[in-house]
Copies of this chain bind each other. A is one copy, B any other.
């Protein structure tokens, strides 16, 4: 294909779709197709079908989610109502879990009315009341399994389930997120996850139902107690999760252009901290060291002035979820070829 031809662009009809990476504007968010596909294949092999409930918060794209459906995963979870609405509108409302608390359940009730299967996490009488008032019919009891965030105390889970059932809700089971253990030491992680899940199983025994939903990319392989694992970061990965010994590799980079060089030993790329999630620190430049990030610039140390104005670099984000949320689209690439474009259509709230 010549460099002048363009792909039909169905996602962004008014945008010309370049077919080589060197034609892309910068900054652009790239997904290396073969790495993404290998990540999905590895996870689908470990956790086939409903054993995985992919978490859309990590990629916020219905186009990417459709690839997970093709891999056999029909049930998803989400962190925001906008993610739930977008997945339902895209036809992936088979079994959608809002793995979060909300008082704004009217929006979820409208999805129920449209025929989607919607479940919401609850951890208080107030969130039970909101689910009932909003017209949601199914809930999971969210249990505190050691990470200081949401979740009812394990010993209070049964009473909350009783309250929910008295109101008329179907309680499908429990969920609990052992997020504090994602990056635990490998030799300690299995025992720590087991202890955390013991709390969840005790709650499950009191609550009833057949769902025990837990886990993430950092514990998918050691959490053998959950009936389903909530993982999403494995699809694209980031430099933080890449520290773990796993079959997943970094598929996500930010493409940037060198727009300025300085003889004192640095070069400036045109993707700054507005193009990255910075809570895990700045991006990684595989060919050298990061100096610092400003709003629209990443300054790279280049002591021998190898970089020239016009060069392009691919920078690896520290944290996938908040990086993705800063961009409008993924450019799916195969090396230097652009092969597809996925809208990041589940952003905002």
A residues whose Cβ falls under 8 Å from a Cβ of B: 25-28, 57, 79-80, 100-104, 123-124, 126-127, 144, 148-151, 153, 179, 257, 259-264, 266, 268, 270, 273-275, 277-279, 291, 293-297, 299, 308-310, 321-322, 325-328, 348-349
Contact = CB atoms under 8 A, between A and B. Distances in A.
A327 B348 contact: yes
A322 B127 contact: no
Contacts of A153: 263
Given A101-B270, A328-B348, 19 more contacts: A25-B104, A27-B349, A79-B295, A79-B296, A101-B268, A101-B309, A102-B270, A103-B259, A123-B260, A148-B291, A149-B268, A149-B294, A149-B299, A150-B268, A179-B294, A275-B349, A277-B278, A278-B279, A295-B322
A102 B270 CA distance: 8
Interface pairs A-B: 5 shortest CB-CB = A126-B309, A101-B259, A150-B260, A278-B279, A79-B296
Contact of A260 (B27, B124, B275): B124
A242 to B, nearest CB: 18
A342 to B, nearest CB: 15
Where chain A touches its partner, the secondary structure class is loop
A292 B103 CA distance: 22
Contacts of A325: 274, 326
Contacts of A100: 259, 270, 296
Contacts of A27: 349
A123 B257 CA distance: 15
Copy tally for this chain in the complex stands at: 2
Contacts of A310: 103, 126
A57 B295 CA distance: 9
A271 B214 CA distance: 22
A261 B144 CA distance: 11
Given A260-B123, A309-B124, A26 B150 contact: no
A244 B144 CA distance: 41
30 contacts: A26-B104, A28-B349, A57-B295, A79-B296, A100-B296, A101-B259, A101-B260, A103-B309, A126-B309, A126-B310, A127-B259, A127-B260, A144-B262, A148-B291, A149-B260, A149-B268, A150-B297, A151-B262, A179-B294, A273-B277, A273-B279, A274-B277, A274-B322, A277-B278, A278-B278, A279-B293, A295-B322, A326-B326, A327-B348, A328-B348
